Structure 1
Amino acid sequence: MSVFEGFLSTSETLAAFSEHHFVDAMLRFEAALARAQAQVGLIPESAAQSIVGSCKVELFDVAKIVRDSGRAGSVALPLVKSLKEAVGLFNADAVAYVHFGSTSQDVIDTAMALVTREAVSLVQADLAKAAQALLRHAEIHAITPILARTLMQPASVTSFGLKCVGWAAPLVRSRDRISQAARCALNVQLGGAVGTLAQMKGQGSQVRRHMAEALGLGDPGATWHTQRDEWVALGCELGIMVGSLGKIAKDISLMGQWEVGELAEPSEPDRGGSSAMPYKRNPVAAMAALAAAERAPQRVAALLQAMSQEHERALGAWQAELGEWPQLLMAAHGSVRALAGALPGLQVDAARMRSNIDRLRAELPRDAADEWFDPALAVPAGEIALAQALVLQARLNPPQLAR
């Protein structure tokens, strides 16, 4: 991690994709594999117990495993080697059953699904918080008049409530789509060398099903080594979410300029300061979201590019995807966390919004001022805002079915 990733991402997402946590997820795969194979009689129960007992990350030199991965061409190879050594200390007969019938991509893809599930859960929680904050502002400011701007110029009067609904709606839709994409993408990977699970003697589908249940992942019913569509679809949805957050951040930063003065991020000690100009209050939440919006498209493009994978196992493309994926999640959560923290305390200057309208009206012919810039135009905009806010609230908080 570079020094700059810390303030553009979050400690939780950085921890989820840390070396230690990823190796732990790989060991969870190996333990689940051994348990499942013992359940269907593929390996002895004693061997499974020895393997499971050794799958504890604190027993391993994680830094060495990661260092050795460059030479091996995969982090799975030094991990499996170390696991066999650990198992052999207690049960030499069980060593032959470590990683039995599996392959490097099986353990790495499944581990990536496990840590991604944690990161997506963080994203979804903050996405709901950001959307809720916007809908609250929409209710409070349903009929607060504000200039609508098209092509960066005043266009008419709308309401700040309707503007907030317009910001919230894509976030609510993204939350729904990310949930659906995650359900499709977060699956166990188990296919063996070429996807046939030949070493498992017809028990492979049962093993995969048991593993999915144990790990809380989906059972895709087949191997997806070079079938990256569901996985990349999740990445695309995260990229779209970041774009929507970037749009909100761009609007807030423009409305927060001194010359406009309609919005400001929360005022807190040490927030948005300047090393040279102590009087400044920089919009740091908008900055983080805009930085993510600059970075995420390249990450998503790299995922799409990496879909052109050769035959049953990719040479380079899958490995490129592995490098890009955590960066996308880090940017995505950094973006949504920044706005989720700032939006509830967003400072709305309704008086400045009105004065900007009045100043423009004074410079226009009376007919144009009354037709396009009458503050009363905020009332019908507010009615639309409240109606749409109710719909979005229902999507965010669906009624619970009675038990």
Structure 2
Amino acid sequence: MSSIFEGFLSTLEVQEAFGDRRFVAAMLRFEAALARAQARTGLIPESAAKSIIGSCKVELFDVPKLVRDSGRAGSIAVPLVRSLQDAVGLFNPAAVAHTHFGCISQDVVDTAMALVTREALNLISADVEHCIHSLLDLAERHAATPMLARTLMQPASVISFGLKCAGWAAPLVRSRQRMRQVAEQALQLQLGGAVGTLAEMQGHGPEVARLMAEDLGLRAPLGHWQTQRDEWVALGCEFGLLVGSLGKMARDMALMAQFEIAELGEAHEPGRGGSSAMPHKRNPVGAMVALAAAQRAPQRVAALMQAMTQEHERALGHWQVELAEWPQLVMSAHGSARAMAQALSGLRIDTQRMLANLDAVRTSLPADAVATWFNPQLVEHSAGLTRSQVASLRSLLDARHGVAGPGAPAPTESARHQAVAPSLVWPV
């Protein structure tokens, strides 16, 4: 699912996760799980299930043709099921009637989307985790490194760069936590049948759903969610919030990387951030990708929410809009997270320039203003806030990973800051 126009705003891994072949493979996983569950509950013969499962191999299917045919059918599931039935019929004609039994196109497509989204979510989580740890390490190292705070794009007062980093990390920690919670609900099996009742499964529907969910590693739903999109869209909203938080950090970093400010810079690497015309330029590519995502994500989230007004038991047009928007939103989220993880890995920090920018403002002000807004004690205050915030954020991360159980002793202040670099001294 790559494009010359937007491939550079995402990553190869997440593009492959939503690629045609990977999605068809996920749909076939649904069909195989359906056959296994229905055989276990006695709905279809075991011999039919074996034939269906044996045919659910993506290499047996002409994926580009399925995609072409989906335009006439209105869903990729229609030509896929037809091709699956043809494949099953070659070896076991009696099993054709049991293929895709009791379910509909939306069941297979929604479940496949949950499967590939789970894969993408793991990619996003890994890069967000990298961002968080990089920022917390920077926050500790620069807890007392003075820099100029800016409000309404103008010089304001003195803070520390460490506090800035902690402020970038905090929403990512919260977002990571919320995404995990929301994903537990959203990544669920879809199985409703024609009108959500699974009537064709003769009372075995709930057990079939339970077995399928267990097989696929998804949550077993309370019922169908064919037009109940709240939990699914809630996950989409979390992707949007994550992209916004990454975009805020990217905006700050891009401003700090301007030549006239020169407090930060992304890594200089061959082929990264160069100009086709001006050899002296160093473009902040990571910030650019994250900012582009932050411009696109709100429209994607809005489209998901607008598509929630679905008709009765099955939607006409609204669900299809959601299908088109969802991968783009998730790909933007991973592109943004990966871009900022890479930018932080090689981030160049010029503490002397931070100090020079501070002094340029400080020396131009009256003494009373300097005493109020540029007192060195304010740096120590920022350092204390930074260390407190970092400790709290690390505790949240440790609690999530089960590092420290109830009653476990907290690390001492000296132990926590043993490896922290000496802070830059800012003269009175």
Relative to the length of structure 1, the TM-score reads 0.99
Measure how far apart 1:401 and its partner are. Answer: 7.0
Please tell me whether the aligned partners of residues 134 and 344 of structure 1 are also in contact (alpha carbons under 8 angstroms).
Answer: no
Query: Could you tell me how far apart the structure 1 residues matched to 2:303 and 2:286 are?
Result: 26
Q: In the alignment, which residue of structure 1 is the partner of 2:391? A: 390
Please tell me whether the aligned partners of residues 308 and 317 of structure 1 are also in contact (alpha carbons under 8 angstroms).
Answer: yes
Q: In the alignment, which residue of structure 2 is the partner of 1:366? A: 367
Gaps of 5+ in 1: none
Measure how far apart 1:95 and its partner are. Answer: 0.4
**2:108 counterpart of 1:112:** no
User: 1:318-348, CA deviations, whole angstroms, 9 ceiling, x for partnerless residues?
Assistant: 0000000000001000000000111132111
Measure how far apart 1:119 and its partner are. Answer: 0.4
Q: In the alignment, which residue of structure 2 is the partner of 1:215? A: 216
Identical residues among aligned pairs (%): 66
User: 1:86-132, CA deviations, whole angstroms, 9 ceiling, x for partnerless residues?
Assistant: 00000000000000000000000000000000001111111111011
**2:362 counterpart of 1:357:** no
SS across alignment from 1:147: strand
Measure how far apart 1:196 and its partner are. Answer: 0.5
Query: Could you tell me how far apart the structure 1 residues matched to 2:166 and 2:295 are?
Result: 24
Relative to the length of structure 2, the TM-score reads 0.93
User: 1:217-262, CA deviations, whole angstroms, 9 ceiling, x for partnerless residues?
Assistant: 0001211100000000000011000000000000000001011111
Query: Could you tell me how far apart the structure 1 residues matched to 2:293 and 2:321 are?
Result: 20
Query: Could you tell me how far apart the structure 2 residues matched to 1:118 and 1:361 are?
Result: 51
SS across alignment from 2:91: coil
Q: In the alignment, which residue of structure 1 is the partner of 2:290? A: 289
Q: In the alignment, which residue of structure 2 is the partner of 1:240? A: 241
Q: In the alignment, which residue of structure 1 is the partner of 2:126? A: 125
Q: In the alignment, which residue of structure 2 is the partner of 1:71? A: 72
User: 1:346-398, CA deviations, whole angstroms, 9 ceiling, x for partnerless residues?
Assistant: 11111000111111111111111121023442111011101110111122232
Superposition pairs of residues 130-149 of structure 1, within 5 angstroms? 130-149=131-150
Superposition pairs of residues 180-195 of structure 1, within 5 angstroms? 180-195=181-196
Query: Could you tell me how far apart the structure 1 residues matched to 2:186 and 2:149 are?
Result: 40
Query: Could you tell me how far apart the structure 1 residues matched to 2:16 and 2:376 are?
Result: 49
Query: Could you tell me how far apart the structure 1 residues matched to 2:404 and 2:289 are?
Result: 38
Query: Could you tell me how far apart the structure 2 residues matched to 1:327 and 1:233 are?
Result: 16
Superposition pairs of residues 289-368 of structure 1, within 5 angstroms? 289-368=290-369
Superposition pairs of residues 168-207 of structure 1, within 5 angstroms? 168-207=169-208
Moved over 3 A (4+): 399-402
Please tell me whether the aligned partners of residues 129 and 340 of structure 1 are also in contact (alpha carbons under 8 angstroms).
Answer: yes
Gaps of 5+ in 2: 406-428
Query: Could you tell me how far apart the structure 1 residues matched to 2:148 and 2:48 are?
Result: 71
Q: In the alignment, which residue of structure 1 is the partner of 2:409? A: none
Q: In the alignment, which residue of structure 1 is the partner of 2:415? A: none
Please tell me whether the aligned partners of residues 245 and 289 of structure 1 are also in contact (alpha carbons under 8 angstroms).
Answer: yes
User: 1:177-219, CA deviations, whole angstroms, 9 ceiling, x for partnerless residues?
Assistant: 0001100100000010000001100000000000000000000
Measure how far apart 1:268 and its partner are. Answer: 1.3
Q: In the alignment, which residue of structure 2 is the partner of 1:94? A: 95
Query: Could you tell me how far apart the structure 1 residues matched to 2:132 and 2:76 are?
Result: 39
SS across alignment from 1:397: helix
Task: Return the letter of the residue paired with 2:147.
Answer: I
User: 1:128-148, CA deviations, whole angstroms, 9 ceiling, x for partnerless residues?
Assistant: 110110101000000000011
